[in-house]
Amino acid sequence: MLATLPRSVDTDAVSTLVLAPVSIACGFPSPAQDYYDGPISLTDMLIDDQAATFIVRASGHSMTGAGISDGDELLVDRSKHPQSGDVIVAVLDGELTVKRLELTPAGAMLRSENAEHPDIVVPELSDLQVWGVATYCIHHLR
Q: Which of 8, 41, 99, 126 is catalytic?
A: 99
Q: For residue 104, what are the contacts with CB-CB under 8 A and spacing of at least 6?
A: 84
Active site residue 79: no
Q: ∠ CA(41), CA(26), CA(68), 5° rounding? A: 65
Q: ∠ CA(114), CA(67), CA(79), 5° rounding? A: 105
Q: Which of 30, 41, 59, 62 is catalytic?
A: 62
Q: For residue 133, what are the contacts with CB-CB under 8 A and spacing of at least 6?
A: 76, 77, 78, 80, 81, 82, 86, 87, 88, 89
Active site residue 62: yes
Catalytic residue set: 62, 99
